[in-house]
């Protein structure tokens, strides 16, 4: 079994190409998963699609011929030539793939190192894959370990102290261009999803009044009700053209596949405007209009760079944590092998038989000349006794609960004491929750 990841991020892929690669609907995701599932060597998959990255994470039986098939599919989907995709994609295999996943979830690979939003995004991606039957035991193992690694990074470093997201970087940029104080300003937020909500919270902390515009006006009202400390209003989406021409600040963060704000909607104003496009694909058309500065996701890199020196020191500590968790993960993975476990149990039974037979001979209960015959009899007895448990253990090896079963057996027989972990430590929290709910329904 192999872990394998194809990665397109802000580090190696332009925003224009990331827009084309992004999966913007469940329907598109399902089609991609179904394609991956059709591959000969497929085990499981998780697709992560955010404003800064598109990652295809896989568990495979072997790696033969996998790259060409995936790149051809992504080329057909995005309209980008397969050769171009291969030129800027980053590919990780086996141990490197696991370390990369740990880095992603720990936010060492993010546009803003240390931001915590990526953990939730990865959990949602895994949840979608798991719920739809595209991942299970194999990806659950690495995902759960990745989430624990991310928690250790947060707890053992300052990398997430005063966490910074793309939304907070945009607000910091607004503060910079408007002289450092946003108190008393008003800002339009287009979109009431996670990014729009996060932008609203950061703006509210800076004393900015907020005008929400969202297609689902009821959702906008719900989000608006949760924002405290400033004046928050909601405008219907039909008023978008009027609203965008009425205020200096605008933050757009929808999940729409097409442009929301086009140059035809823009009117001249007597005041300068600053628009922050936090969406991928972009919401705002590049209109080169007078008195409007448009900042896309990639433009926000500047603010992150100002904190780079402090974050690099913490990133070095975090990388050591990732190395530790990676080594621990692969050591633990080896202990879950069914074959060696069965052999260890049989060896224990054989040693026990030999030890007790030797005691019986030394005490005169058994004649030494009968040792060979009695050993054969005992061997047949423990083979017969272990036959059914052995068959059950082989059959359960691919089931999600096999990790817990193996660890239980290791515990009861006292095997692998140094590498054995507490029961369920590496079973995915989400998977445990699903198993418990299924059990309750029964």
258-265 long-range contacts (CB < 8 A, ≥24 apart) are: 259/283, 259/284, 259/285, 260/190, 260/284, 261/190, 261/285, 262/287, 263/287, 263/289, 265/240, 265/241
Which residues of the chain are under the pLDDT cut of 70? Answer: 160-164, 301-308, 334-340, 394-404, 406-407, 416-442
Q: Is the pTM of this model over 0.85?
A: no
Q: Which residues, in sequence order, are bridge partners of residue 213? A: 190, 235
Q: Counting beta carbons within 10 angstroms of the beta carbon of residue 88, is it exposed (0 to 12), middle (13 to 18) or buried (19 or more)? A: middle
Structure tokens at 15: 């925003």
pLDDT digits (tens, 9 = 90+) for 327-336: 888 777 765 6
Active-site annotation holder among 51, 287, 289, 428 = 51
**Whole-number pLDDT of residue 432:** 45
**Whole-number pLDDT of residue 203:** 95
**Whole-number pLDDT of residue 426:** 45
3-state secondary structure (DSSP) of residue 91: strand
Starting at the edge strand that comes first in sequence, how are the strands of the sheet with 292-295 ordered?
Answer: 232-236, 209-214, 186-190, 249-252, 273-277, 292-295
| Annotated catalytic residue 51 | yes
> H or E element: which one contains 213?
strand 209-214
pLDDT digits (tens, 9 = 90+) for 111-134: 777 777 889 899 999 999 999 999
Q: Are 94 and 58 a contacting pair, CB within 8 Å?
A: no
212 φ, ψ to 5°? -85, 135
Q: Are 283 and 277 a contacting pair, CB within 8 Å?
A: yes
């Amino acid at each position: 079994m192999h872990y394998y990841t194809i990665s397109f991020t802000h580090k190696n892929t332009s925003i224009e190409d990331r827009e084309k690669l992004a999966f913007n609907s469940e329907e598109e995701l399902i089609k991609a998963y179904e394609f991956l599932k059709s591959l000969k060597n497929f085990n499981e998959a998780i697709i992560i699609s955010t404003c800064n990255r598109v990652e295809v994470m896989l568990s495979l039986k072997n790696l033969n011929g996998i790259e060409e098939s995936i790149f051809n599919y992504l080329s057909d989907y995005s309209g980008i030539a397969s050769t171009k995709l291969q030129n800027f994609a980053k590919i990780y295999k086996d141990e490197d793939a696991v370390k990369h996943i740990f880095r992603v979830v720990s936010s060492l690979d993010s546009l803003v190192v240390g931001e915590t939003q990526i953990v939730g995004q990865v959990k949602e991606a895994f949840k979608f894959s798991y719920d739809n039957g595209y991942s299970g035991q194999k990806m659950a193992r690495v995902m759960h370990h990745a989430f624990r690694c991310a928690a250790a990074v947060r707890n053992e470093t300052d990398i997430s102290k005063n966490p910074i997201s793309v939304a907070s970087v945009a607000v910091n940029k607004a503060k910079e261009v408007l002289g450092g104080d946003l108190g008393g300003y008003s800002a339009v937020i287009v979109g009431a999803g996670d990014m729009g909500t996060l932008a609203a919270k950061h703006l509210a902390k800076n004393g900015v009044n907020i005008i929400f515009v969202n297609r689902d006006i009821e959702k906008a009202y719900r989000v608006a009700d949760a924002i405290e400390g400033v004046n928050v209003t909601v405008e219907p989406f039909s008023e978008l053209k009027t609203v965008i021409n009425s205020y200096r600040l605008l933050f757009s963060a929808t999940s729409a596949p097409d442009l929301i704000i086009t140059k035809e909607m823009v009117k001249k104003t007597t005041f300068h405007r600053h628009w922050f496009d936090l969406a991928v694909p972009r919401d705002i058309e590049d209109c080169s209009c007078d008195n409007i500065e448009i900042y896309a996701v990639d433009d926000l890199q500047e603010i992150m760079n100002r904190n780079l020196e402090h974050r690099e020191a913490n990133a070095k500590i975090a990388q050591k944590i990732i190395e530790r968790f990676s080594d621990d993960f692969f050591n633990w993975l080896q202990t879950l092998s069914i074959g060696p476990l069965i052999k260890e149990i049989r060896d224990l039974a054989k040693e026990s038989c030999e030890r007790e037979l030797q005691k019986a001979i030394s005490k005169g209960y058994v004649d030494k000349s009968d040792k060979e015959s009695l050993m054969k009899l005992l061997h047949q007895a423990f083979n017969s006794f272990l036959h059914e448990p052995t068959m059950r253990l082989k059959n359960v090896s691919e089931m999600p609960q096999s990790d817990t079963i193996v660890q239980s057996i290791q515990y009861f027989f006292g095997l692998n004491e140094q590498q054995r972990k507490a029961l369920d430590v590496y079973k995915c929290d989400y998977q445990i929750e699903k198993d418990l709910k299924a059990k309750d329904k029964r």
